[in-house]
Amino acid sequence: MVLKDMMRSTKVLRRQLLVDDTKTCSPMSVQRRMKERLWHEFFSDPSQWWDHRSEKVNSRYPDFKHKTTQQALWLDGILTPPWVEAKLAAMAPRSIQPSVFQWNVRLARYVKSGQYEKTLDLFKQMKREGMVPDDVTFVHVLKACSSSQALKEGQHVHQEIVRRGCESNIAVGSRLIDMYAKCGRIEDAHIVFDRMPTHDVVSWTALILGYVKSGQGQKALQLLQQMQHEGVLPDRVTFVGLLNVCASVAALDEGRHVHKLIIQRGWESDAFVGSSLVDMYGKCGSIKDAERVFNSMSTRDVVCWTSMILGHVKCGQAHEALELFQQMQHEGVKPDQVTFVGVLNACASLMALEEGRRVHKQIVETGFDSDVFVGTSLIDMYSKCGSIDDAQLVFRRMSTRNVVSWTAMILGLVKCGKGQKALELSRQMEQERVQPNQITFVGLLNACASVSALEEGRRVHKQIIERGCESNIFVGNSLVDMYAKCGSIEDAQRVFDRMTARNVVSWTAMILGHVKCGQGQKALKLLQKMQQEGVHPHPVTFVGLLNACASVSALEEGRHVHEQVIKCGYGSDVFVCNSLIDMYAKCGSIEDAERVFNNMGSRDVVSWTVMISGHVKCGQGHKALELFKQMQCEGVQPDRVTFVALLNACASIVALKEGRHIHEQIIQNGFESDLFVSSGLVDMYAKCGSIEDARRVFNRMAKRDVVSWNAMIFGHVKCGQGLEALELFQQMQHEEGVQPDPVTFVAVLNACAGVAALEEGRRVHKQIIESSCESDAFVASSLIDMYAKCGSIEDAEKVFNNVALGCNVVSWTAMLGGYAMHGHGKEALEHFERMHKEGVEINGVTFLSLLSACSRAGLVDEGLDYFKAMSPVYGVSATAEHYACMVDLLGHAGRLQEAEDLIKSSQYCMEDATAWTALLGACRVHGNCEMGERIAKRVVELDPGNSSGYMLL
């Protein structure tokens, strides 16, 4: 058809030219003009040439076939091959130079693929090569500026637009409005809008969305009304854009107003608009409105279902989100990538690991496991559910990993307490040339804080400065927190002082840093300064402060914080009250804890659990069990933490019967398979002396971690089965591959001490050195105790001297006990004096070891002098154990009357059988029957169930 048209045109053209030019042109002239006209009409556009060799347009080597007809057209011999070749030769230099259309095609391709920096670079190159941009060029470049929020580049483009006279073009003007609005310059956007000669729905929509984005919702609604008054009716794109922006800034009232306009315009039944309504209501927290729109929709596609699922997740209704997911599939709607991301978030919030695994299987079956966003959500879900191994497996299998994937993996490792591995992963990320973003830096700083890696934290800080992220408030807060937790409060203060904007999180991090460094008064002053600067403390601020006070037993500071809590009106906040109870209990003031607990208007399971744990910590196990009964009477269901606290209560008072009853309830509530609870059961049975029950629970455990093994090993040690404990230690490592921690080494050293296994103790010591655990104060103390009990006081001294700089009161006391055990009274006294001189805190246990050393070495007068100086000089109150030790000291020296007078001098000891029993033993040694008979009667009166009084008598 095209060929016939061309032939017909040739004949018409020839006839017309002959008629017009008969008198003025020769036949040759007519033929030349025909050639030019035909060339211009059919062949001047290179895109119409056909190249039979590659089936593609080739502007350099055409074989003169027309693309549409795919036939050679020589047109009656007029366009001959030599003439066309000459024409091509004349055009060759111009055909190589790309046209503005080709530049625009490349620009559009970069914008579509999100490569905004390349778009701007290409625009600069285009200008360097002398190509004049047109309206389409400016539209593409402005879109790149708005998407990347490149305001400076956008302003330069605006200047170029003005120079070229393109500002009046409605498409260019709309893009300028959009660019300025997205870059936060709504005033400039409005200026451009006012300069435009005419406005269409696109320009109005761009300006309206800009005002909503800048938080001026009412102004946006006024513009929407003005737009309608001027006869420009909003379309579905306007409404969807408005709803999306309302959703992004949680502008519920504005969103409802837009909904009314949608109903007026009759767009509510549109699937695209309906899905945006559901999404807006969900993101604004009004799930009931979202459900109302969702249920009214006649057709619901995957986008609509996904919006509904995401809305429920955002509103904390993860169970409902999973139910919707099931219903969606039942109705035949197949999930897409975004659906799976929402469902995985629901599983993560519920810590529903098994449900997450089922969703993962479905993702693999549908082929979405290769999607980078789905993969990242899988990593996040597994991490939050505590299965870091599954998260790492997903991460390793990902074919493509972006910065979000790396960041999710780093955050997951930090959450699971593997900060060191998170830092190692960041180095691998650097090697693969993946640039970290602000959230990555937050994760890395949290990792440094968790393992106290100060130097690594400083290296990350340097990277943050290089990347220009230090001014970001989230990064700044994390820097303050990292330096504070790593003990460098000066660096934390420097970062804090440099911050241009500080919120309640910044202040809280700084306050907690001072508390951690033992500067409680400074922390309280910061709290006051924070309030003076108009920053209102959040409940989290007080929770953090109270937790910090609890960790260092800062009771007075805790009371000051309590006063501030009441002043700020958080006295009835359940989370703050729970932290108050915990703080008072951990600081030893169980009466204050009870006062807060009793004054609470509403108490949740955490309140009861904290109170139960507080009583256990204060040695009131029976009271803890009574509280549990009261808790059940009030209809509060216990959780896994409650049961562990109750098991600790049973263990502390050796209440095996109650422990078994708690075990039955654990089974009824489905918590026996929980690793945390089952480890508590093993520990309870072991401490109650029922090693068989402990072993039964231990053997039933599907998975056993180091805590479970430690409980079992300690149980055998407590029951005097040191050899069995050592066998378990070997089995734990060689058969199940569980690596010991410092607590394990303490248990094993106690086992070695119990059976005097010196060589085994030395082997364990070697392993401790290889594991870099020798500097741990409790491990060092256990080593000293083990060597002393195994008869090698020299090895005990060697360990003590090796860790002397890091020794605490426990290590010093262990060494003192070693001297006492070996009867080295003089060395014990010298050690005590050195301990006092070096400022080591002396406690009641230290004095027991000191008095025992005096007793074994017969240093009666020295022992009496130290006993008298306990309270006035060293600030340590004497207990029944100390009196018993002094009675033993005087009794060994035959000074029985002095011993009896000492007991009578303390009203507390008068009512305690311990000291009287010690005196009865001394009467037996020295054969004082008269006093012995009198003392024995006293022992029986105080403790009728104690058979030792009868035996000694």
Over the stretch 636-673, which tens digit does the pLDDT of each residue have?
Answer: 999 999 999 999 999 999 899 999 999 999 999 888 88
Rg (alpha carbons) of the chain, rounded to whole number? 41
pLDDT at 858 over 90: no
pLDDT category at 141 given cuts 50, 70, 90 is very high
Give percent of the chain above pLDDT 90: 28
pLDDT at 340 over 90: yes
**DSSP labels for 747-763?**
HHHHHHHHTT-HHHHHH
Q: What DSSP state is assigned to residue 912?
A: -
**DSSP labels for 59-114?**
SSS--SEETTT-SB--TTTTS-HHHHHHHHHHHHHHHHSPPHHHHHHHHHHHHHTT
CA distance 601 to 591: 18
CA distance 776 to 765: 13
pLDDT score of 41: 52
Mean pLDDT of 240-267: 82
What 3-state DSSP class applies to 927?
Answer: coil
Inter-CA distances, 186 with 212, 258, 535, 753, 904, Å: 10, 21, 29, 76, 87
How deeply is 296 buried, as exposed, middle or buried, from its count of CB atoms within 10 A (0-12, 13-18, 19+)? exposed
Residues 359-381: pLDDT tens digits?
999 999 998 988 889 999 999 99
Residues 744-784: pLDDT tens digits?
999 999 999 888 889 999 999 999 888 888 878 888 888 99
Q: How far apart are the first and last CA of the chain?
A: 131
pLDDT score of 921: 82
pLDDT category at 52 given cuts 50, 70, 90 is very low
900 Cβ contact list (under 8 Å, min separation 6): 919, 931, 935
pLDDT at 270 over 70: yes
946 Cβ contact list (under 8 Å, min separation 6): 913, 917, 939, 940
pLDDT score of 219: 83
pLDDT category at 334 given cuts 50, 70, 90 is very high
CA distance 695 to 122: 72
pLDDT at 881 over 50: yes
CA distance 555 to 561: 10
Supply the mean pLDDT for the chain: 83
Mean pLDDT of 614-629: 91
Highest mean predicted confidence (pLDDT) among 171-185, 229-243, 254-268, 523-537: 171-185
Q: Please tell me which residue, 62 or 783, carries the higher pLDDT value.
A: 783
- The alpha carbon dihedral of 514, 516, 518, 521 has a sign of positive
Q: How many CB atoms sit inside 10 A of residue 30's CB?
A: 19
pLDDT score of 7: 46
pLDDT category at 1 given cuts 50, 70, 90 is very low
CA distance 664 to 659: 9
CA distance 767 to 303: 58
pLDDT score of 341: 93
pLDDT score of 378: 94
How deeply is 78 buried, as exposed, middle or buried, from its count of CB atoms within 10 A (0-12, 13-18, 19+)? middle
pLDDT score of 852: 87
Q: Please tell me which residue, 226 or 906, carries the higher pLDDT value.
A: 226
pLDDT score of 356: 93
CA distance 62 to 287: 64
Residues 431-453: pLDDT tens digits?
888 889 999 999 999 999 988 89
> Whats the size of the chain, residue-wise?
953
CA distance 274 to 599: 49
Minimum mean pLDDT range among 57-71, 148-162, 254-268, 580-594: 57-71
pLDDT score of 719: 84
Q: How does strand 65-66 pair with strand 49-50? A: antiparallel
328 Cβ contact list (under 8 Å, min separation 6): 302, 305, 309, 335, 339
pLDDT score of 594: 92
pLDDT score of 500: 84
Q: Give a three-class secondary structure readout of 33-73.
A: HHHHHHHHHHHCCHHHEECCCCCCCCCCCCCCEECCCCCEC
pLDDT score of 394: 93
Q: Please tell me which residue, 157 or 884, carries the higher pLDDT value.
A: 157
H-run or E-run covering 520: helix 520-532
What 3-state DSSP class applies to 676?
Answer: helix
CA distance 222 to 228: 10
pLDDT category at 5 given cuts 50, 70, 90 is very low
Q: Give a three-class secondary structure readout of 580-647.
A: HHHHHHHCCCHHHHHHHHHHCCCCCHHHHHHHHHHHHHCCCHHHHHHHHHHHHHCCCCCCHHHHHHHH
- 676-698 b/e (C-beta count within 10 Å ≥ 16 → b): ebbbbbbbbbbbbebbebbbebb
CA distance 290 to 276: 10
Q: What DSSP state is assigned to residue 842?
A: P
pLDDT score of 662: 93
What's the distance, CA 510 to chain centroid?
19
Asked if 744 and 710 count as a contact pair (C-beta separation under 8 A), the reply is: yes
Rounded to two decimals, what is the model's pTM? Answer: 0.58
The two tokens of residue 175 are 């893009």
pLDDT score of 43: 54
Q: What DSSP state is assigned to residue 335?
A: P
Residues 795-805: pLDDT tens digits?
988 888 887 54
Asked if 150 and 185 count as a contact pair (C-beta separation under 8 A), the reply is: no
Give percent of the chain above pLDDT 70: 88
Q: Which residues pair with 49 in a beta bridge?
A: 66
Inter-CA distances, 303 with 112, 160, 260, 348, 637, Å: 22, 40, 22, 21, 39
pLDDT category at 879 given cuts 50, 70, 90 is confident
pLDDT category at 95 given cuts 50, 70, 90 is very low
Mean pLDDT of 883-903: 85
Q: Which of 453, 524, 519, 531 is nearest to 490 (CA)?
A: 519
CA distance 188 to 743: 65
pLDDT score of 816: 87
Mean pLDDT of 371-392: 91
Residues 912-944: pLDDT tens digits?
777 788 888 888 887 888 888 888 888 777 777
Inter-CA distances, 476 with 147, 468, 501, 534, Å: 26, 12, 9, 20
State which amino acid sits at residue 912: D
